[in-house]
Amino acid sequence: MLSLIKLPQVFTINQVPKVFHEDSIISGYRHPRSSAIDCILSLFQLTNETLNIWTHFLPTWYFLWKAVTVVFVQVAWQDSFIWPLVIFLLTCCIYPLASSCAHTFSSMSARARHICFFFDYAAVSFYSLGTAIVYSAYVFPDKWVNSLFHRCYVPIAVLNTVFCSSLACYSRLGLPFLHYNHDVVKRFSECQRPKFSKYLRVVAFAFPCLFDNIPLLYRVFLCVGEGCTDNDTNVLHYYHIALAFLTGFLFATHLPERLAPGSFDYIGHSHQLFHVCGILGTHFQMKAAEQDMVTRGPWLLEHSIPITFANSVGAALLCVVANLTVVALYSLPLLSAPACHEKKHDKHDKHDKSAKKASQRVCPCS
């Protein structure tokens, strides 16, 4: 069936605007003015984004199945002790889905690319809050339960999610009110200062992750003696921690493609490996949280902070509102700015003269 459909053409790095460039990826780029249909069709051909999309789209359904199972089998709406797990599982569904959508439709225009990844960053920060909520409920070491840090942990995590989203969005185009001035945007854009933008994004995602894992890292590596919660679940936590650090390493280093540019354009580049390690890490994180919930449940119900609407569902809803506000602040100026100086191509022009015209775009960060 697919043989009867003309799949979109792919291009090299010199044939697309700078905003679409990926470090050490030479070929496999989609047209920078792809239609939504072209973006969907590109899922069924090999481009440098294909596996980025599928490695997050398929796991979305796995985590959704887990969430539905918890809600209906354990009757979560009747037991507030299960709410943190449900929230965490929902964030596990949202962040890979947002990522796969961002990678799918980011080639529609420079403007669309920025907005797609604004939503992606917001989803990642929401996942960091889901981690904090589930850790606060089930993972804190015994000796830290009900401490001052434990009581402040989720509120600080909410602030961190706003910080993560804001800084990650800032790393692409600077402050949102500058978007009205195209010349200023170009000076502060990711394309003009790619290394600085990369550093900002690493900080934006690493800081909430490190904060969220303070109780876990203390529990499995530093805590000694009574109250350290040394149980069988720690093995699953070790797997998750190892994969989390590997995920961060791949995101920050662009290995292996940096060692051999062009050799890993379609299969095996760092972003694909980053997605796979991230999903595997989330899987072990989920299994560990479930096991801690079951094995430590009776003790936590007696000694830990009560799970309320405010420190679970309410915190998640506040995070959603705050992150959508951040995305809106960064996206609306792009949508309301004067149209980019881009010529739309018909189908023949799109495939015959794309290389020449793609390099002549004048869009934000083009």
Q: Minimum mean pLDDT among 43-47, 221-225, 321-325: which range?
A: 221-225
Asked whether residue 127 is assigned to any structural domain, the reply reads yes
Asked whether residue 240 is assigned to any structural domain, the reply reads yes
Residue-number span of the structural domain to which 320 is assigned = 52-337
Question: How far from 254 is each of 25, 26, 139, 357, CA to CA, in Å?
Answer: 10, 13, 32, 29
pLDDT band at 230 (very low <50, low <70, confident <90, very high): confident
How far is the first Cα of the chain from the last one, in angstroms, to the nearest whole number? 36
Tokens encoding 45: 């051909």
Asked whether residue 23 is assigned to any structural domain, the reply reads no
pLDDT band at 366 (very low <50, low <70, confident <90, very high): low
Q: How many CB atoms lie within 10 A of CB 366?
A: 22
| CATH number, domain with residue 194 | 1.20.1070
Angle between helices 194-212 and 233-253 (to 10 degrees): 170
pLDDT > 70 fraction of the chain, expressed in percent and rounded: 85
Asked whether residue 113 is assigned to any structural domain, the reply reads yes
pLDDT band at 342 (very low <50, low <70, confident <90, very high): very low
Structural domain count, the chain:
1
User: Which pLDDT value is given to residue 355?
Assistant: 43
Asked whether residue 31 is assigned to any structural domain, the reply reads no
Per-residue pLDDT reduced to its tens digit, 105-137: 999 999 999 999 999 999 999 999 999 999 999
Asked whether residue 230 is assigned to any structural domain, the reply reads yes
Asked whether residue 30 is assigned to any structural domain, the reply reads no
The number of CA neighbours under 13 Å toward the Cβ of 126 is 31
Reference 57, options 13, 102, 25; nearest CA is 102
Q: Which residue has the higher pLDDT, 72 or 166?
A: 166
The mean pLDDT value of the chain amounts to: 88
pLDDT band at 335 (very low <50, low <70, confident <90, very high): confident
Mean pLDDT, rounded, for 165-190: 69
Per-residue pLDDT reduced to its tens digit, 48-77: 999 999 999 999 999 999 999 998 877 666
Asked whether residue 19 is assigned to any structural domain, the reply reads no
Q: Which residue has the higher pLDDT, 319 or 190?
A: 319
